[in-house]
Structure formats: C-alpha cells, structure tokens
Amino acid sequence: MPKLRKLFYLAIVLGLCLSAIPAESQRAAPLALDLVSAQVEQKQAAQPAQDPWWKHAVIYEIYPRSFQDSNGDGVGDINGITSRLDYLHDLGIDAIWITPMYPSPLVDFGYDVAYYTAIDPLYGTLADFDHLVAEAKKRGIRVIMDFVPNHTSDEHPWFKESRSSRSNPKRNWYIWRDAKGPGQPPNNWQSWFGHSAWEFDPATDQYYYHHFYVQQPDLNWRNPEVRKAMYDAMRFWLDRGVAGFRVDAVSRLFEDPNLHDDPILPGKNAYGDPNIQHKYTDNLPEIHDVLREMRRVVDAYSGSPVVISEADEPNIKELTKMYGAKDDEVQLPMDFQIADVNKLSAPEFRRLLDQVERNTAHGQPLFFFSNHDQPRQWDRYGDGVHNDQIAKLMATLLLTTRQTPLMYYGEEIGMRTTLPTRKEDVQDPIGKIGWPQEKGRDGERTPMQWDNSQGHGFSTADRTWLPIPPSAEPYNVSAESKDPGSILSFYKGLLALRQSEPALRNMGQGSYVPLNRDDPYVLAYLRKNPASGESVLVVLNMSGEPRTVKLDLASQGIKGSSAKMLIASPQPKETRMPLEHFVIAPFGAFVGSVR
C-alpha cells in the first residue's frame, strides 16, 4: 500500500475507534492533531496543484440554531459547532457553510440581518467565531459564511435611517416608490413569502419593496454606496479567514426600474394569492455585474475563496451563465435542477447529469438534495417503506458524480422532516402565513440527533427551540456509529472512498461517462481516472425490483469482465460482479473498481 494511502487508512481507523467511544469523551480528548495535520497536508498534496480546493471538497451545511447548544439555552451556537469539529473531521468533511449568525431580530431566523460585521450574542462572540475558524483549520476544515445581499432586516440602522425621511442620505439605499393610486401598491409584484411585495410606510407616505418578509426590505443594488458597503462586509469576513460565501437569493437583487406588472398565471398559491411569474423581479441581467464584482473581492485574497450562488435557475443555460463569460463570476452555483427532481428517476437524473457534463462553461456546480429550505431527502425520495436503503442510494449519487457535493446536517444519519402538527407551534413565519397548506420550514430544521440521552446530546435545556423528533431514538450519531449497517456508517465509507479513489475525487474533464443510456430504472456511470486507468463503476437501481444489466465497458478501455466491490448496499454475496450479467437489488447502490 503506498505510504500516503496508508496514512489515510490509519486516520480512518483512528476515526472509527474514536467514534465508538462516547461523544462527550471524544470532545474532552481532542484528536491526535499531529496525525490530523499530517492527513490534511497529505490531502492537499494529493490534489492536482492547479486545482482550487473547492473542486475536491465535500461541503456540509450547518443550521447553527440546530447543530449543538453549548450553553443550555435550547438554541445551537458557535462553541457548540466548535465542539463537534472532530465529528465533522472524522466524517470526512472539508468545509462547512454556516447559515447566518449575524445580529438579527430573527424574523427569518437570521436571513434578516441587522448588522453585517458582527455575531448575534445568541450564537456567541466574534472571538468564538475566530476560535471556530482556527480550530476548523487545524482539522483541514474551511468555514464558509452565508452572505445575504438582497435585503437587510428592517431593524438595520441603514433602513432605520432610510425610512426616517425622504431626504435622508440613506433613502436611496432601499427601493421606495409612490402608491399607484389611493391605498394601492405601486404594482402587482408579490413577495416570495406571500401577498404584496410592497409595504406602505406612513411616516414618509411611500411604499418600500420586500421580495421576502415585510421585515426584510430590499437593498437598492443600483446604488454604488450599497455595493461598496456590502463588499466591505465581505472583506471583513475574508480578513478573519473565511473560505468564501454562499450568497443568498442572488437572483433577486434587481427589479425592473419601470415597475412593469408581473404576468398573472392560472390558479392560486398556498398563500391564497394569484399565481404570478416573477418576470420583473428575478434573474435580471444586472446580477452578473454584481457577481463579477463579488468575485473580484474574493479573488483579491489568497487560498481561493469560493463564491457559491443560491439561485434556483430554471435550466442549464441559466445555471451556466452563473460562471460568467470569462469564468469570472460564481465558482459553484447551487444546482436546484438536480436537487428538485423529487422522484427516483434514472432517466431524469441521467438527463440532468448529461447537461451538467456538457455545460459550455465546463463548470462544476454544487450538488445537493437537502437544505434548510426544503423537506429532507429521507422522506422526499423515500417510498415510505425502504427509506433507509433509499437514503444510501441517494448518498451514493451525491458523493460519486463529478459535482461538488453539499450535505445538510443530519442527512448522514437519516434525519427526516418533522413538521409541526399545530399552527401555534410553528416558528417559521411562512408556516404561519400559509397554514395549513404551507407548514413552513421547521420540519427540516429540527435539532441534530447526537445520542439517546435527554436532549439527545444537542442541548441540556428542558425545551429546545424546535422539538427533537421521536425518530431521534433510533436515528442518532451514537447509535449509528456502532452499527456497521447504519446510514451513518455508509456515508463514512463513501466519504473515505472519495478520499482514497482519485477517480471519484478528481473532476478531470471527461471523467464522468454515462452507461446504459436507455435503462429506465438503473442509473450507471463510470468515473475515469485519466492518470492511472483505474476507474470506478457506479450502479444505482432506482426501482423497487431487482434488475439485471449488461455493462459493456470495453469501449471505455476496460479489459476486465468484472467489477470489484468497494462499497455497496445491500452487500452483494460476491465481491466481484460480472459486467455481462450485473444483478442489482431493489434500490441497491454499488460502487466498484474496474480496469
């Protein structure tokens, strides 16, 4: 075994041993950091020198309110995250994206920012944040901030000034317009979160525009002073060592200055408003000027900081535009097309993966299934009977294509969506406005399930900000760490494989080769390692029946007649599978090496 690989395995074994001891003592006894640092250096050395880190990284989204509470108030915090870095390191995570922790009245749980260059005391202090970044760095984990440029909180000092008078110097930092007629908003634009996007402010007798909640007034990105202030805020965090930004709701930055009405579509939405096409408030071409400017901000720093865009682009053409004509905008656009297939469909995943492969910018998107805004994948893709097996199938897809994978905390233990059952329990305002059709996003934001103790290792508080679901009993880190057949063990195996198999890690042009293109049930592809000729075969059965496929790999230069299993679920009886007659179990996932 080559020396470097040996080191990996040693560290993985150490990780497994550590995961078998109680979480508390894991945290008390820090990892052998010398070994970890050696592993980090080794990981970096294994990457082609010209590649930025994010091409090979696995990113993990943390919703800080729900990851780990360190002070017993029932809400997660920064020191809580720091105390769980060893877990993330053992799992095989390269970077964490933390959703907003800025001071905020928390109407939208942090996406209503009241100050861009500070930490809300609920989560800790700037010193805690610096400590987190430093401790993460020791473990080879980068920290990505969430950046919210489209709007501020109505409590932000800028907005308070802006609304104070029509002649205030900050008036033009937001979008203020006159009524269309007495009591009538300027036009028919609707908030993404229900009802008119205009709010009347009697103090100055004008309306302000809010794409999201009333308490989230939109900034005016046509004002150069706004742009400068926001780029300065980005620099503040880059100076503190963050590895980039996930830029929130970036396609919503501009609105039609002529205030054309949006086209009305048939039917009504969950809020009881007429459906409309957000034609004049979404994806206006000027967003690309801003993205170029943001890219220049991060490019001025060493270490290849990344810009990730949150924009639910409707098709590959729009997604491709996010990279910029000269690769000068977003490095990792979030791929909502794949995230929202919402059914197990081999042809649909194949079609979308083909499109990504052929995108004219040769870009690499960010691939995910779950996040804090949409129901978790365990139930969204599960059939209600085989959800654990399907979770492993989806994990295999997420972690073996050539896109950069993004995990959402808890998906690795099969956390499910647990919606409130009573309106009075709802925290997310969308759920209050849209109840009962729209129950909001609380269901995918419940606390992380660490163990079986009171508070499930998340908190010592009697009451946590959202209840811990009953499913925490069997589905938690401690229990699953001891079970080799658990979802967590499967994720760990896959993540370790990504590290040890260059064909899986390295994007390398042409390294994704779709196979059996007409198969309606089985998604199969080859990840080629152009350097060594050793390739990885991935076979995913997206149906509830066993399937047999014939895989002709000779045209890909593969001489062997079988694939040697690297990881699979369920485990086939044989570790070598014949390519001519490859049998795959219902919802089975197989990853093997071929040469």
Applying CB under 6 A, which residues contact ligand GLC? Answer: 108, 111, 148, 212, 248-249, 310, 372-373
Give me the residue whose beta carbon is nearest to ligand GLC.
Answer: 111
Beta carbon nearer to ligand GLC, 111 or 512: 111
Residue 371 pairs in a beta bridge with 374
- Minimum Å distance from CB 375 to ligand GLC? 14
* Closest C-alpha to 330, from 318, 339, 340, 341: 318
Count CA atoms within 13 Å of residue 136 on its CB side. Answer: 27
In the complex with ligand GLC, the residue whose CB is nearer, 214 or 565, is: 214
How far is 369 from 390, CA to CA, in rounded Å? 13
Closest separation between CB of residue 310 and ligand GLC, Å? 6
* Angle at the Cα of 153 from the Cα atoms of 107 and 422, rounded to 5 degrees: 10
Nearer to ligand GLC, 111 or 116 (CB): 111
Distance CA 564, CA 555 (A): 19
Neighbours of 324 (CB within 10 A): 17
CA–chain centroid gap for 158, Å, is 30
Judge contact between 92 and 496, C-beta under 8 A: yes
Largest CA-CA distance found in the chain, in angstroms, rounded: 78
CB of 418 to ligand GLC, least distance (A): 18
Query: How does DSSP classify residue 532?
Result: T
Nearer to ligand GLC, 90 or 248 (CB): 248
| Shortest Å, Cβ 248 to ligand GLC | 5
| Whole-number Å distance between alpha carbons of 464 and 203 | 39
Question: What sign does the CA torsion over 430, 469, 467, 116 have?
Answer: negative
For ligand GLC, the closer of residues 144 and 507 by Cβ is: 144
CB of 307 to ligand GLC, least distance (A): 16
CB contact at 8 A, 341 and 350: no
Tell me which amino acid residue 245 is. Answer: F
Closer residue to ligand GLC, CB minimum distance, 192 or 301: 192
**In whole angstroms, how close is the CB of 110 to ligand GLC at the nearest point?**
8
Q: Tokens 């490019």 label which residue?
A: 299
Which of residues 83 and 104 has its CB atom nearest to ligand GLC in the complex? 104
H or E segment and range at residue 317 = helix 316-321
Catalytic residue (one of 135, 154, 218, 310) = 310
Distance in Å, CB of 342 to ligand GLC, minimum: 18
Q: Which is nearer to ligand GLC, 61 or 501 (CB)?
A: 61
CA distance 225 to 329: 21
If phi over 0 gives left and psi between -120 and 50 gives alpha, with beta otherwise, what is residue 393? alpha
| Residue 388 is among the residues annotated as catalytic for this protein | no
Residue number with CB closer to ligand GLC (19 or 309): 309
C-beta of 112 vs 262, nearer to ligand GLC: 112
Q: In angstroms, give the least distance from the CB of 159 to ligand GLC.
A: 15
Find the catalytic residue in 154, 218, 248, 357. 248
DSSP classification of residue 55: G
Beta strand 562-569 pairing with 176-177: unpaired
Number of C-beta neighbours around residue 192 at 10 A: 16
Rounded CA gap, 344 and 377, in Å? 11
Assigned token pair, 98: 């933390």
Based on the residue annotation, tell me whether 383 is a catalytic residue of this protein: no
Rounded (5°) CA angle 414-419-425: 135
Convert 1-30 to b/e letters by CB count within 10 Å (16 or more is b).
eeeeeebbeebbebbeebbeeebeebeeee
CB 131, min distance to ligand GLC, A? 26
Please count the CA atoms within 13 angstroms of the CA of 363 that sit on its side-chain side: 27
Rounded distance between C-alpha atoms, residue 269 and residue 195, angstroms: 10
CB of 398 to ligand GLC, least distance (A): 19
Q: Which residues are catalytic?
A: 248, 310
